[in-house]
Structure 1
């Protein structure tokens, strides 16, 4: 008989492709269930929790919206509001990508990438709000977030470690496309980089270097682009992990890689970061999930469960379009203290909602 504990364990291990009988589902009934995807569209999903509410956002391209809910897997019924629209022209007027909302130093900050319509001019920018509820407050553009090199930059994320804020992002080494690396820098405050960037990862494995460009001459791109992007911090015990997206987003081989270091290490020393030699989360054609990536993490309301939130396509060769939709599933940890994400689960499987969700 499939016990509740066994049922939860199967899901956490990514084995929910096993057919579940009606009797099995009755065992899960004390906790309501949901199905992926959470929304029909939502590239680059990001979520955070603060004082009983989850705040969610994703790439819309022409503005930044926030969702507010007590149930992180019921985004379809969440309160939603547009908090910022870009000007018609200027350096942050177009291609608004990968927004993230963070609660830092008693205020709300939204980091995003934008340009003037030319991709080579993409940079990171940040908005600030002093309101207690980020959906109700006014937002001020604090400015560009850049180190002295001021190179192409996207997918900025921020985390705090021992009272120090750090910014991690995806960027070019120089002024020409061809390879995206991961960089880290200290922040003096939520909008000011303190010192020069440090490269902590570049695409070195074959699974990070899938990125043939169609019509590359006409597009002015190199024939292949190698990618590390979408970094997100994950901490547990005495380790800090950076989970990032690898290979080009227009390929089905888009996947998640992992860097790790010790909480005692110098985070600005590239030698402190060790790269896992294989993807930690990748496509599952048998489950109908392609190009999973650009994730974030959240805990259940009661703090007992760890969840990964990511986007994926439902068919091959769908690329970097708005068909990428947000999906969530729980994950566990190995005896060695490493995250175990399992496989992307099929949309046919109903999952229990995060523990502690009310109503």
Structure 2
């Protein structure tokens, strides 16, 4: 299926899927990710025209915290410099029903600038909000970094933010320097990783990078994270995979397999636009606990369904 910035959340045997729509937020619900394309999306949020969150609605992510559902998303007023991270709340048992309440922006006072791609890390009983930001408030310097801050509650951050990573290597600077789309991944042996997208999404070299949190490390301390010097998932021209990135993770229905879902272009030079399509494949963990994503699977190649699917 066509789309970009895929996100999946599992609860009670149901997979809830979201992607960038641009003007609204929709939810797909399915019990089998291999049948996602057959699911009928339900529009759950349409902003008020002219509002500060009415345009360029990107990268929504769904979570269930403290008995309520939350969607974290990016939006602005139409001008790129206005992009910020926002939160919706729903107290219904089923996120495709009930009322989504706009809880406003989520940010820290020291990072009140261009912000996209909000996501959550849960560790040791605490929650952390991760996002991508451009600290240059004039929006002339487009370099994008990843920040993290502790959450007081699902829609409020506390304290100051930490810049966890910025574009340093050549593979993070194709087009211009970008670290975005942070995604938390906890290994079977309880090690924490942050998988992020690097380089401008309009290039074929959009790819995934990785930060590893040291054992006993504090997620808010940059020095406790180690960045991989090489991308962990990147283009595979022979498999029609250009610019693979902005991923999410899910487990198979029986909990035995780990899967990554991501977007990519099928041909070169298709850019950061509507031709991107959503793909998913199984991955494993190495003996040191780090993930092994392999390489993007070729389009049209038949692979086994997630184990335990009915």
Q: How does 1:1-359 map to 2 (within 5 A)?
A: 39=1, 41-149=2-110, 150-175=112-137, 176=139, 177-211=141-175, 225-236=176-187, 237-358=189-310
- Using structure 1 for the length normalisation, give the TM-score: 0.84
Q: Distance in 2 between matches of 1:306 and 1:103?
A: 20
Residue 334 of structure 1: how far off its partner (Å): 1.3
Which structure: larger Rg? 1
Contact 2:214 2:226 in 1 (8 A): no
Q: Would the aligned equivalents of 1:111 and 1:157 in 2 still touch at CA under 8 Å?
A: yes
Tell me the secondary structure at the aligned position of residue 352 of structure 1: coil
Q: 1:160-184, CA deviations, whole angstroms, 9 ceiling, x for partnerless residues?
A: 1111110000001231332000100
Q: Which residue of 2 aligns with 1:31?
A: none
Is the CA contact 2:52–2:76 (under 8 Å) kept in the aligned structure 1?
A: yes
Gaps of 5+ in 1: 1-38, 212-224
Cα shift readout 1:14-66 (whole Å, capped 9, x = no counterpart): xxxxxxxxxxxxxxxxxxxxxxxxx1x11000001100100000000000000
Q: What's the CA shift for 1:94?
A: 0.4
**What is the CA–CA distance in structure 1 between the aligned matches of 2:290 and 2:79, rounded to whole Å?**
39
Post-superposition Cα deviations, 1:221-247, rounded to whole Å, max 9, x if no partner, equal: xxxx21000010000124110000000
Equivalent pairs counted in the alignment come to: 306
Q: For residues 264-297 of structure 1, what are the alpha-carbon distances to aligned partners after superposition, in whole Å with 9 as ceiling and x for unaligned?
A: 1111111011000000000000111100000000
Using CA pairs under 8 Å that are at least 6 residues apart, name the structure with larger relative contact order, 1 or 2. 1
Return closer, same or farther for 1:346/1:336 CA change in 2, 3 Å cut-off: same
Structure 1 consecutive aligned stretches of length 4 or more whose deviation exceeds 2 Å: none
Give the alignment's Cα RMSD to 1 decimal.
Answer: 0.9
TM-score of the superposition, structure 2-length normalised? 0.97
8 Å Cα contact 1:69/1:79 also seen in 2:
no
